[in-house]
A and B are shown apart, each in its own frame.
Chain A
């Protein structure tokens, strides 16, 4: 990535951060509240179980943070991408950028990076709120060991970012992408839920983590190439 693209990507991220703050702040707060409430409800059975030792409960509660990442990142990311990419195509704002020498991959990267950042921060805030709520209300201090940390804060978010890249490509290039925006987050969350259950049953091996990360990286790379190959006419034809 050369110097020109870097400062342009930063400019696009700066603009999108303002747009997100003004258009999606309530949605972001709502996402945190919704995710925490859902997670507390889902953990209710575990919290009320008197037969389990405290250490096991705290370990399982720690693993439940995985669910927060697979709920938070795809759903919030999908909404943000719809606004940042599809809306901008609809109201022709992107035509001017493309016409004046800013290439499509620079714009796409700027929008994707800010989406990754915002969704990750919201995920961390949700996890922290969940942690504090459980600690204050029930007195349990969740155990976040290396495996839980890697799985919840690195592997699953990376996989979610891969998914967001595909969705970002669709919102950026395809003519009527709304249907994908509806189906993809649900499909990904359901799939991610199953992966999370497996992780909780049996902590992941280093190889499993490497495979998941490689898949996430491959998805991101393929999407990057697809966006780079897309023509400006595909983006403006809406």
Chain B
């Protein structure tokens, strides 16, 4: 079942195009990582989906089960918690807004607080919470009314390892148990890799990659080879190697990265290095992870 359909979304501020024909879809059960550098248009897209900013063109449609009115749950970077209220009161407010009866929401709130480890601090005011605790609270606040789509803007920014791990487990279980969907933005590629099944990369207002995580094209490319040395190479040696061989990236004077290689090229390079009296410490292969893919895509777009 389709949950979110974004088609040809365009947003301009004066002459500046912030979003340029952005399109993607979220299906039931999807966790879509919406990633891109700062200022690429991620938060603008989210705010348009939530109806907080007017668009200049295109369509965003959210679908819900049984005509549910509050079909979106959202956590913005600013959290949206009421600091003078306790954790319980924040959740009680959300439950009252959703129209739940007291005997229904009491159990729901207790269960959610327990799931994210906040039951002991339920009667403490939010202003006394750490950032990790506040993030956990804001996420259960967003799912309290059982939305079809949960939108998270930088949900794991600045939180400790335990809170981070607890939230990832909680979100994965929430999607699996209830067949819900998540659209989330993050700068941390490890989070995207762990949590998402789909990825959309946006740069300068344009979607430059949108596919299942497993089928991102660059996964098929050869892994990079790294060559490290016992001692730093001299500048003239580095220049010689770089001039003679293509696709060599000097990471520092004792570490080279070789991309787009073939066995013959590697042999020739190693022989050259030996002839230059350089002592190789290690040659190793590093498989590209999502962060490498992301950086490649962003860099590729810049070129």
Contacts and interface: CB of A to CB of B under 8 A. Distances in A.
Interface of B: 47, 50-54, 69-76, 78-85, 89, 93, 96-97, 99, 141-142, 145, 147, 151
A100 B73 contact: yes
A154 B147 CA distance: 44
A188 B119 CA distance: 48
Nearest to A22: B84
Given A92-B76, A93-B80, A18 B99 contact: no
A95 B72 CA distance: 13
A231 B71 CA distance: 20
A95 B97 contact: no
Given A18-B85, A18-B89, A22-B84, A99 B99 contact: no
A233 B85 contact: no
Contact of B74 (A100, A231, A233): A100
Q: Report which residue of B72, B79, B97, B147 has the largest number of chain A beta carbons within 10 angstroms of its beta carbon.
A: B97
Interface in A55-106: 91-102
B51 A99 contact: yes
B52 A95 contact: yes
Contacts of A22: 84
A8 B96 CA distance: 7
A91 B69 contact: no
Contacts of A92: 76, 78-80
Interface string A1-36: 000100110111011001100110000000000000
Main secondary structure of the interface of B (DSSP, over half): loop
Given A98-B51, A236-B52, A14 B76 contact: no
Given A99-B50, A233-B53, A236-B52, A7 B99 contact: yes
B80 A95 contact: yes
A7 to B, nearest CB: 6
A41 to B, nearest CB: 35
Contacts of A4: 69, 99
B50 A231 contact: no
Contact of A8 (B51, B74, B97): B97
A233 B54 contact: yes
Nearest to A90: B78
B97 A102 contact: yes
Contact of B96 (A14, A95, A232): A14
B100 to A, nearest CB: 10
Given A8-B97, A99-B52, A100-B142, 19 more contacts: A7-B96, A14-B93, A15-B89, A18-B84, A18-B85, A19-B82, A91-B78, A92-B76, A92-B79, A95-B50, A95-B80, A99-B51, A99-B74, A100-B147, A101-B69, A101-B71, A102-B97, A233-B52, A233-B54
Contacts of A91: 78, 83
B84 A19 contact: yes
Nearest to B49: A99
Contacts of A236: 47, 52-53
A11 B51 contact: no
B93 A15 contact: yes
In the complex, the 8 A-B pairs of residues with the closest C-beta atoms, listed nearest first: A96-B80, A92-B78, A99-B50, A11-B96, A101-B70, A99-B74, A22-B84, A15-B93
Interface in A94-143: 94-102
Contacts of A231: 54
A113 B52 CA distance: 25
6 contacts: A18-B85, A91-B78, A98-B50, A101-B71, A101-B72, A236-B47
B95 to A, nearest CB: 9
Interface in A219-238: 231-233, 236
A232 B52 contact: yes
A95 B50 CA distance: 9
A12 B97 CA distance: 8
A96 B99 CA distance: 17
Contacts of B75: 96
A214 B85 CA distance: 39
B84 A100 contact: no
